[in-house]
Amino acid sequence: MWSVCKKELRQFFSSLTGYIAIIVFLLVNGVMLFIFENNILDFGYATLDRFFQLAPWILLLLLLLIPAITMRSFAEEFKTGTFEILQTRPLSRWQIVFGKYFGSLLVVIIALLPTVIYYISVQQLSSGEGIDTGATMGSYIGLVFLASVFTAIGICSSSFTNNAVIAFIISLVACSLFYYGFSAISLMPTLSGGSDLK
Give pLDDT tens digits for 121-173.
888 877 777 788 888 899 899 989 988 998 999 899 988 988 888 888 888 88
Please give the pLDDT value at position 168: 86
Q: What is the pLDDT of residues 36-51, one digit of tens each?
A: 777 777 766 667 777 7
If you average pLDDT over every residue of the chain, what do you get? 81
Please give the pLDDT value at position 196: 52
DSSP string, 50-91: HHHHHHHHIIIIIS-HHHHHHTTTTHHHHHHTHHHHHHTSS-
Whole-angstrom Cα distance, residue 65 to residue 69? 6
